[in-house]
Each structure stands twice: as structure tokens, then as C-alpha cells.
Amino acid sequence: MLNAREAVLRLKEYHPPLGGRAGLRLDFNENTAGCSGHVLARLRALDPEELNKYPERDPVERTVADFLGVRPEQLVLTNGVDEGIHLLCETYLEPADEVLLVVPTFSLYEIYAAATGATVICIQAEDGFRFPTQAVLNRVSARTRLIAVANPNNPTGAVAPEADLLQLTAAAPQAALLVDEAYFDFYGHTLLPRIGQTPNLFVTRTFSKAYGLAGLRAGVLAGAADQMRMVRRVASPYNVNAAALACLPVALADTGYVADYVAQVRRGRDRVRRELQALGVASWPSEANFVLMLIGDKRKAFVEAMRQRGILVRDRHHDPGCAGCVRLTVGTDEQTERAMAALREALVEIDWRKPEAAGAAL
Amino acid sequence: MLNAREAVLRLKEYHPPLGGRAGLRLDFNENTAGCSGHVLARLRALDPEELNKYPERDPVERTVADFLGVRPEQLVLTNGVDEGIHLLCETYLEPADEVLLVVPTFSLYEIYAAATGATVICIQAEDGFRFPTQAVLNRVSARTRLIAVANPNNPTGAVAPEADLLQLTAAAPQAALLVDEAYFDFYGHTLLPRIGQTPNLFVTRTFSKAYGLAGLRAGVLAGAADQMRMVRRVASPYNVNAAALACLPVALADTGYVADYVAQVRRGRDRVRRELQALGVASWPSEANFVLMLIGDKRKAFVEAMRQRGILVRDRHHDPGCAGCVRLTVGTDEQTERAMAALREALVEIDWRKPEAAGAAL
């Protein structure tokens, strides 16, 4: 009888709540405005010759490398950041290895790491979801082979100081440090310029968030050239599709589009936090395109009341340390206006009261 | 210092000869006519709402399952067949396992299998590239965990009898038998209806060949529902992009387009073999959209002479048992006409003579 590997038999399944998603989708941290018009025009100009041949990644990798200020051999384009994480795990992790994650965080690190048979060690963030640098350092051992950090983090929006992240690369030279910068555009700080001098640092970027191309699946995994040569060995040469490859250079060139969208998101998240504070709803500082708020016991009723008002938000109650929390993606000015109007009504409808002792840990 | 796993350090790199590919591309077994016009229209009607959200695979999986006559839980859509092979290797293979391949065959089986650390055992095809059923059976051991067979095979066009493939599933119940039917449309026989009764059989299909969608990256991996549940665990929920998901139902619905293209390819491959025979060039029977021919020592000059006439063909000299061989993809009637005219000129230009003892093994 054919059996999957032990690590796969034990693996959690990841079922994000897709399924139609009718309404204003503030539940997946996507761009909510649609992509640049120039990108759409390029997509519509795709000709059959671009579709019927295998996609050629190299020329676009050179364009993306130029844009990011790294060398082409320091990055690989991936089928979304998911694939970048997957390839990194496959390149480095063996069953005897340990992986350190700071939780709560993006689910796929644990899934891809555990799929290799490696032991995943979850370290709880400090109060206010601050990055627990000392706790991570304390768990580094000779077996540590990967430390994965989303920066800004999801679902909290918290960031880790650059110096602390670099301290980890030095403390665990035998491990890959993955800094997932999916939300970089809403934050502005990056470790990408460090990949040249830091042989075990990897940085991911995505076009699914600020650029509005989640559907096209395009991510970047960057690291030292010697390491990337290993990562490329386990990737398909045709991993990124022709539509994404055609659109990326156009998306990068339309800097005005992204700057405007990012400005709206940054305004929006300040406004959301201010209004939540006025309403007595605790929330956490965010450098990403979402705000995590503490609703408490009535979170399910709240998510449903929002849905009835045409606004989808995401229940994060089951994330470690996030009991009672709901995450709201921030979009355009107009969407923030709508979302907050719905939120005020929803709180009234569910007869919301500030949870006992809430905010103590903020 | 960070080191890749041993299996990755030892892994071959796969660099297909892309890089511009100017001319009539008869070198990658793609559809050479462009996809259905309806597919192109659907692609051009993609709206920003489809691009900025994460792609939802499930509804399209139901459509594809219906089309293929299997249940949705028996298949997963993949980012091209490459990813299907990759997921299968990741789900089942461990370093102690053995993988049996019949060579020559598609390169990626060996790469993805070896990446897991499993031992890859290559078994040479019989004379005329016939499937070496008994030799494969002789190599089955308790450690055999995967047997991968392209059917029709690439680069030979040869097929394995269904009864022989089923015999392998019975002889190695602890192993996955992957039957890669990428070229199914040009052949017409399939093991897909057998997945319900054969718990260790997997079948792949692609939309990169007959359907002309190689650029969009869409493949199918099908198998018993219990097994597919394991495979899904190691796949990203967002592995197939929105452009591919939008186009697949339209591509499946335009049965006339595929039937016409396949008819041209089948006529074309008969014509190519007939004309090669008349020219004294040995070739092998093919059930796929290409013909493998024996050029001999002058194969490099031949490939270059074809290129100068605007026709790209693929040197397969380095494939096991393919010394002196060149592979020609067969496209439309008009393209076959052009290719054969160029081929006749090229043979004259390189002063081609039938290789000594050629054809003995045909």
C-alpha cells in the first residue's frame, strides 16, 4: 500500500476561507483597487504567441533585479511568495533540522517547513506583538536551519528592528533567515540591500499586495548568489506564467499608481486606528495594509454583521495570542469610509462592549 | 555556514535552451498555432477584480473533473505538469526510497525525484524505444516508491501498453505509478478511468500541448481521492493563476479547436515519417506531436542549417540511447510543409549521408 511520508500524514491542512467572497473584500490583505491601468492594457495585448510557448523568466528577472537594486543571480521569480517559501524549505530543510517561527504569523511557513519533516518551534511574540528577539536567540541551536519572519508581520502589522534581524543571521550562521517583505510597500524599510554581505539572509517580495496582482502569482525570493544557485535547482524553469511575466515590467514602471495606492492605505490605517480608539476598540500599530483589532467574545457576530453590510473581514481568533481578534484590510479612502461606517453600525447591532481587561497587553 | 541539503548539492541543473527562440519553434513540442480564439477573448475580458484577488482553484477543478469524467476530489490543478510531478515527489519520496525511470524520458522526473534524496534508477528502453516492462519489473523492490512513465514518451513518441502499466501498479503496490499523459490528445488512449480502482496510480494531463496554453501554466494531477488529499496538503491553495483559471473552462468548451489542431498534427507526423523514409532518414513511430529522427554525426550542422531557414528543432543527442538524434515538433499542415522543405535543403547543405548501421535498432 502506498503511504505518504510521515511528515505529510501529520501535516495540517490549510483551507483559506475562499468560496465566492461576495462584497468588499477586506479579508485577504489584497489590493482592493485593481491593478494599474497600464498593466491591464498589457494583459489585453497578450498575443497567442506569448501564450502557446513556455514562459521565459530570465529577461524579466533582469528587469526586476534592476528595479530592486540587486543582481539577477541574487533573485528568482516565483509563483507567488508561497513558492519562494516552499523552495527555501525544500533547498535547506531535513528532518533533523529545527525551524524557528515567531507567532502569530503567516500560516504557510509552518506548513512548508513541517512538510520537510523538520521540527517547527513556535515562539510567542511579546506583549503588543513585539518581536521577541531574546527569546528567538535563546532557542537557536546547532540544529536551527531556518528562521522565518514576516516583516511587517501578518496578522499583526508589527515590525522587527533591522538590527535584531541581522543579529539573528550572525547568531545562527548555519540557518537561513527568511525576511518576508510581502507588505514592504506599506512600510518602506527593507533588508534587501543586506543580501550581498549576509550569506544566510533571504528576502521575499510580492506583487500580490500593493501592485494588485495577487491573481497573477508573482513573487521574488532574493539572497546571496551562491545560495540562489541552489534554490534554482529545485525550481521549475517555467514556474512563473507568461501573463505575470508580461505584466511585471509594466507594473514596476507605473510608480505613480503604487505610490498613490500606498498613500491611501497609509492614511486609511491611521484613520482606522484613530476611529477604533474613539469607539473604545483596541487595535495594534500596523506598518502593513491591515489593522488587527480586539473585538472579543462577539467576534463571530461582528464578522457576520460586517458581511451583511457588504464588508468581508477576517476572524483571527485562532491565531496564537489573538483570541477575540479580527483583521481588517485597509484599501482606498472611499473603501475606508465605507468600512468604518459599516463597523460603527455592526458594533451597535451586536451590542458590543469593551472586553474585560482588554488592552492590557497592547 | 548555511549549506543546501546533500541531495540539492548533488542535483543536476536543468537549463532548457530558451533565450529568444526566434523562428518557427518546432523545438519544445508546444502547440504552434496559438490557442483557441475564444480563450484569447476570455483573457482579454479579464477584469481588475479577477487580478487583484487570490485565485480560487476549486470551481475550475470541478469543471475540469467533469470534463475528464473523474470526481473533483480525484484531481488537483497544478502550475503546469511540472508542479504535479514536484508535488508527487514531495508527498511520497524519502531518501531511503528508489525511483524507477525508463530512459530516455522527460528530464524533470529525475530532477524532482533526486531532489528528495531518493535513489533514481534509470532503465534503458528496449530496441525501438519499446517499453521494457520486464526490466522494470525486475528492478521493483520493497524500496520502490515511484515509477514515472511518460505515455506517450518524450522524446521518442513511444507508448507503453495499458496492461503493462497496470501490471506495474500490481507488482509495486507500495509505489506510486505516475503515467504522464501530457501528449494524450495526440494519442487518444488514457489510464484516467483506472484511477478509481487503482489506489497507487496517478495520471497527469496538461494544457500546454494540444490546447496551446504552455504560457499560462495549467496541468492536472489525478489519482485516488485518499492520495490526492495528501498531495493537496503540500500544494499552495493559490498555485494556479487567475488567467489560467479563467481560460481553462473556455478552452475545454472549444472542442472543435483542439480536434482540428490534433487532426493536423496526426496528418503531419505521418507525412514527416513518410518523407523522412523517402529521404533515407530513420525515425521512430510517434503517438505524440513530434518525431525523433536519426541524423548522426552531423546533427549539430543540421540543427544550425534548420535554424538558418527559420526552423528551430531540438538536438537530443545527449539523451540516453539517442546518439545522433534530433526531435522535430509537428504543427499545422502549413508548418509541416515549411519544415520539410527546410529539412530537405538542410540535408543537402550539410551533405548528409545515412549513418553507418543506422536503423538497425529501429
Q: What is the CATH number of the domain that holds B48?
A: 3.40.640.10
CB B175 within 8 A of CB B140: yes
A1 found inside a domain = no
Between CA B110 and CA B97 the distance in angstroms is 13
Shared domain check, A166 and A281: no
Q: Are B181 and B226 part of one and the same domain?
A: yes
B127 shares its domain with B170: yes
Tell me the longest C-alpha to C-alpha distance in chain A.
62
What's the angle, vertex CA A247, arms to CA A242 and CA A249, rounded to 5?
115
Inside any domain, residue B61? yes
Question: CA-CA distance, B155 to B27, in Å (whole number)?
Answer: 11
Confidence of residue B14 (pLDDT cuts 50, 70, 90): confident
Strands B325-329 and B290-294: antiparallel
Q: For A216, which of B145, B174, B241 is closest by C-beta distance?
A: B241
Contact B52 A44 (CB under 8 A): no
Task: Compute CA distances B98 → A91, B147, B174, whole Å.
Answer: 20, 9, 11
Chain A: give the shortest CA distance to residue B106, in Å: 13
Phi and psi at residue A248, to the nearest 5° = -55, -50
One domain, residues A241 and A297: no
Q: Count of A–B CB contacts within 8 Å?
A: 256
**A115 and A95 in one domain?**
yes
Domain boundary among B253, B280, B299: B253
pLDDT at B106 exceeding the cut of 90 = yes
Answer yes or no: is B54 within a domain. yes
- In a domain, residue A151? The reply is yes
Q: Is beta strand A98-103 parallel, antiparallel or unpaired with respect to A325-329? A: unpaired
Within 10 Å of residue A120's Cβ, how many Cβ atoms?
Answer: 20
Asked if A234 and A264 sit in the same domain, the reply is no
Strands A176-180 and A201-206: parallel
A:200-219 residues touching chain B, CB 8 A cutoff: 200, 208, 212-217
- Dist CA A217 CA A238 (whole Å): 13
Model confidence at B357: pLDDT above 80? no
CATH code: domain of residue B305: 3.90.1150.10
The span from the CA of A50 to the CA of A62, in Å, is: 19
Of B1, B115, B212, the CB nearest to A52: B212
**Grid cell for residue B171:** 507488482
Probe site for chain A from B11, B51, B211, B232 (most A CB atoms < 10 A): B51
Compare B49 and A320 and report the one with higher pLDDT.
A320
- Check whether residue B206 and residue B328 sit in a common domain: no
User: Is there a single domain that holds both residue A249 and residue A264?
Assistant: no
My answer on whether A247 and A282 are in the same domain is: no
Which of residues B189, B221, B253 is at a domain's end? Answer: B253
Structural domain contains residue B362: no
| Residue A278 CB burial class (10 angstroms; 0-12, 13-18, ≥19) | exposed
Looking at the fold, whether A173 and A43 belong to one and the same domain comes out as yes
Distance between CA atoms of A24 and A331, rounded to whole angstroms? 10
pLDDT for the residue A14: 83
* Domain that residue A180 falls in: 37-253
Chain B nearest CA to A124, separation (Å):
25
- pLDDT per residue over B184-233, tens digit each? 999 999 999 999 999 999 999 999 999 999 999 999 999 999 999 999 99
Residue B127 has pLDDT above 70, yes or no: yes
Please indicate if any CB of chain B lies within 8 Å of the CB of A10.
no
Report the predicted TM-score, pTM, of the whole model to 2 decimal places.
Answer: 0.95
Q: E strands, A131-233, where? A: 144-150, 176-180, 201-206, 219-223
- The answer to whether the CB of A155 falls within 8 A of the CB of A319 is yes
Contact (CB, 8 A) for A142 and A174: yes
Residues A206 and A285 both lie in one domain: no
B356 is a domain residue: no
- Phi, psi (rounded to 5 degrees) for A35: -80, 180
Interface of B with A in 228-267 (CB under 8 A): 230, 232-234, 236-239, 241-244
Q: Is A204 within 8 Å of A219 (Cβ atoms)?
A: yes
Burial of A243 (0-12, 13-18, 19+ CB in 10 A): buried
pLDDT reported for residue A362 = 52
pLDDT for B198 equals: 97
Work out the pLDDT band at B13, boundaries 50, 70, 90. confident
Contact: A237, B176; criterion CB under 8 Å: no
Please indicate if any CB of chain B lies within 8 Å of the CB of A331.
no
Tens-binned pLDDT, residue by residue, of chain A (362 aa): 999 999 999 998 888 877 778 899 999 999 999 999 999 999 999 988 889 999 999 999 999 999 999 999 999 999 999 999 999 999 999 999 999 999 999 999 999 999 999 999 999 999 999 999 999 999 999 999 999 999 999 999 999 999 999 999 999 999 999 999 999 999 999 999 999 999 999 999 999 999 999 999 999 999 999 999 999 999 999 999 999 999 999 999 999 999 999 999 999 999 999 999 999 999 999 999 999 999 999 999 999 999 999 999 999 999 999 999 999 999 999 999 999 999 999 999 999 998 765 544 45
Helix (H, G, I), strand (E, B) or coil at A105: coil
Q: How far apart are CA A100 and CA A137, in angstroms?
A: 10
Residue A269 in domain: yes
Q: Quick one: cell of A136?
A: 528567538
Which of residues B253, B279, B304 is at a domain's end? B253
Please answer whether residues A189 and A157 qualify as being in contact, where contact means their C-beta atoms are separated by less than 8 angstroms. no
Could you tell me if B22 lies within 8 Å of chain A, comparing CB atoms? Answer: no
- Asked, for residue A362, whether it belongs to a domain, the answer is no
Q: What region, left, alpha or beta, does residue A19 occupy, with left being phi > 0 and alpha being psi -120 to 50 degrees?
A: left
- Asked whether residue B24 falls in the same domain as residue B89, the answer is no
DSSP 8-state assignment for residue A327: E
What is the tens place of the pLDDT at every residue in B131-174?
A: 999 999 999 999 999 999 999 999 999 999 999 999 999 999 99
Q: Which residue among B35, B111, B233 sits closest to A52, beta carbon to beta carbon?
A: B35
What is the C-alpha separation between B152 and B159, in angstroms, rounded?
Answer: 5
pLDDT value of residue B360: 44
Question: Is the confidence at residue B113, as pLDDT, over 90?
Answer: yes
| Residue length of chain B | 362
Half-sphere exposure of A130 (CA within 13 A, CB side): 11
In B, minimum Cα distance to A78 occurs at B239
Q: What does the alpha-carbon distance between residue A17 and residue B110 come to, in Å, rounded to a whole number?
A: 36
Burial class (CB in 10 A: 0-12, 13-18, 19+), A127: exposed
Q: Is residue B239 pLDDT above 50, yes or no?
A: yes
Instruction: Point out which residues pair with A292 in neighbouring strands.
Output: A327
pLDDT tens, A120-154? 999 999 999 999 999 999 999 999 999 999 999 99
Task: Give the CA radius of gyration of chain A.
Answer: 21
For the residues B117-121, what does the mean pLDDT come to?
98
CB contact under 8 A, B236 and A11: no
How many domains does chain B divide into?
2
